[in-house]
């Protein structure tokens, strides 16, 4: 975490915004891990536990760049919100190594499509724990290094999560200087929560406003996952759109003092 801003500047200098505007019916080009990726990040991307389906998404999702921007280190303690599918979970666990820990939190409704695989993942790893709990009543671990919320912020209010209270809960769970990483699909500017329950997109300025209101500082507002060609009025799962949406990438920091 200590080198968050320096690493962020360095990686964004070598990583242009994601070139999504190609024909998405074709397989994406191979993903190349940045040459300046440290060993624990490279280990995470190259983890043998990652499936071929997960690796096929790397070109658009830029996992090494995101891990580097987060400042993740071996031994970190991490909370992951909406871990089902384990795309990032597998890499987070490999990056923090055996001395680190990942707590995975899903809402109970995810049981029907994500519960069994997530419990299987938990059973295979001594330093990962899977939880199914309501976010309005959950007690998060304390003094954690980072909290990750990837492509799920927009789902919280439609599932009756009090996002203002939950953001404060996340703030309190982090150690001073810890970070809250949020990535989400962009809706039209100024749309707020309007499209969250229908096309799974957010007016991302609303995310920024809500998280800052909980006491966080904005450490990074990146265009790493930008796609200017994306039609932000389309459902994110629509053919030709899925996997290539225009996405916001924020890192918020709990003040060190």
Residue 12 is part of a domain; what is its CATH number? 3.40.50.150
Domain that holds residue 58: 4-20+30-253
Asked whether residue 25 is domain-assigned, the answer is no
pTM of the model: 0.91
Alpha carbons 221 and 208: distance in angstroms, whole number: 9
Strand, coil or helix: what is 228?
A: coil
Token code pair at residue 57 = 């998404």
In this prediction, residue 139 carries a pLDDT of 98
In this prediction, residue 257 carries a pLDDT of 82
On average, the pLDDT of the chain sits at 92
Provide the number of structural domains found in the chain. Answer: 1
CA quadruple 186, 168, 251, 100: dihedral positive or negative? negative
Alpha carbons 148 and 37: distance in angstroms, whole number: 20
Token code pair at residue 210 = 């809500």
Asked whether residue 182 is domain-assigned, the answer is yes
Asked whether residue 187 is domain-assigned, the answer is yes
Asked whether residue 237 is domain-assigned, the answer is yes
pLDDT at 203 over 70: yes
Asked whether residue 156 is domain-assigned, the answer is yes
Residues of the chain above pLDDT 90, percent: 89
Q: Which helix (H) or strand (E) holds 179?
A: strand 174-185
Asked whether residue 171 is domain-assigned, the answer is yes
Asked whether residue 63 is domain-assigned, the answer is yes
Asked whether residue 201 is domain-assigned, the answer is yes
């Amino acid at each position: 975490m200590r080198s968050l801003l320096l690493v962020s500047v360095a990686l964004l200098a070598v990583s242009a915004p994601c070139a999504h505007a190609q024909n998405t019916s074709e397989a994406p080009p191979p993903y190349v891990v940045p040459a300046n990726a440290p060993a624990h990040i490279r280990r995470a991307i190259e983890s043998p536990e990652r499936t071929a389906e997960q690796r096929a998404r790397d070109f658009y999702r830029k996992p090494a760049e995101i891990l580097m921007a987060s400042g993740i280190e071996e031994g970190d303690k991490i909370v992951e919100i909406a871990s089902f599918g384990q795309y990032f979970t597998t890499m987070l666990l490999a990056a923090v190594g055996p001395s680190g820990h990942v707590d995975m939190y899903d809402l109970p409704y995810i049981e029907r499509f994500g519960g069994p695989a997530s419990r299987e993942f938990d059973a295979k790893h001594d330093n990962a724990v899977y939880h199914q709990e309501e976010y309005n009543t959950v007690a998060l671990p304390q003094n954690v290094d980072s909290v990750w919320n990837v492509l799920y912020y927009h789902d919280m209010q439609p599932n009756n999560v009090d996002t203002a209270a939950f953001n404060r809960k996340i703030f309190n769970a982090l150690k001073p200087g810890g970070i809250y990483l949020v990535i989400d699909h962009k809706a039209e500017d100024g749309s707020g929560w309007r499209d969250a329950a229908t096309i799974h997109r957010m007016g991302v300025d609303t995310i920024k406003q809500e998280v800052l209101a909980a006491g966080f500082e904005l450490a990074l507002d990146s265009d790493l996952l930008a796609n200017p060609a994306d039609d932000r009025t389309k459902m994110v799962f629509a053919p030709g759109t899925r996997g290539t949406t225009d996405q916001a990438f924020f890192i918020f920091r709990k003040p060190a003092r």
